[in-house]
Every structure is written in C-alpha cells, then in structure tokens.
Structure 1
Amino acid sequence: MSWSLVGLAAGIALGFAGYFGGFGAFVVVAVLGLIGLVAGRYLDGDLDPGDFLRPRDRGRDDDRPRTRPRPR
C-alpha cells in the first residue's frame, strides 16, 4: 500500500470524524492515528526509541565558521 493511499484514508477518516463528531472527535482521531503510526513504525523496525532519547550531534566536521563568499 502506498503512502498516498494511507494519507487519503487518514484524511477521509479525519473528515468524517470532524463532520459527524465535531472538533473534539477530530482531535481524538488525529491523536490516536499518530499513536498508531508511531507504533506501526516501531513494529516495522523503522523507528528506534533511542532516536528520541539521544542528543543530536550539534558539532560540524570542521571548526571553521561558515561564511558566504564575498562578492567581487
């Protein structure tokens, strides 16, 4: 199944929830969909829980400041 089809199905579900249930139902469906997406990605092996816990490397390869070249 392509991601476009998954996005279409999610959009339709959110549209129905928003139309028939109001804004509260829309938010509940969106949050539960996000939780399901994260759980599915974890079970597929595409998501490592350590990605959220490890600090990012904020350093660069070199210590030189990056500047734009001066116009001539």
Structure 2
Amino acid sequence: MTPSATRTGILIGAVLALSGVAFGFWAFVFVAVAMAIGALVGRIVDGKLNVAGLVDAFRGKRSSS
C-alpha cells in the first residue's frame, strides 16, 4: 500500500504531538526543524528541488520565467 498525503500528514502530526507531549516545547521545535530539513534533503535527492533556483531566490535574484 502506498502512503497517501493524508496518511503522511497524520503520521507527521502524530510524531510532532508525541514529541511535544513527551519532551516539551523545544523538543517539538527541534523535531519539526529536523523533519523539514529531512524533507528538503529528500526532495533534492529525488531531483524534485532545483537547488540553484533556491539559492538564487535566497539571494534575491528573480527568474525570468
């Protein structure tokens, strides 16, 4: 069975909620940041995120397209 976006969202919410309840607010923040970084790395590895375009956006450069 392939995971749907709903199931993935439920799993992410459960992990964040459990970390917040079990370890407190800062653990919740740390887990959320770690999950976001992991998602970015995963998208880069899959080739679904253009790193050069992302760097240009942070530098304030605008794309022509």
TM-score of the aligned structures, taking structure 2 as reference length: 0.79
In the alignment, does 2:17 pair up with 1:11? no
Q: Which has the higher helix share?
A: 2
Q: Which residue of 1 aligns with 2:37?
A: 35
How many residue pairs end up in the alignment? 58
In the TM superposition, structure 1's runs of 4+ consecutive aligned residues that sit over 6 Å from their partners are none
**Displacement of 1:53 after TM fit?**
2.1
Gaps of 5+ in 1: 59-72
* TM-score, L = length of structure 1: 0.72
Structure 2: 5+ residue runs without aligned partners?
none
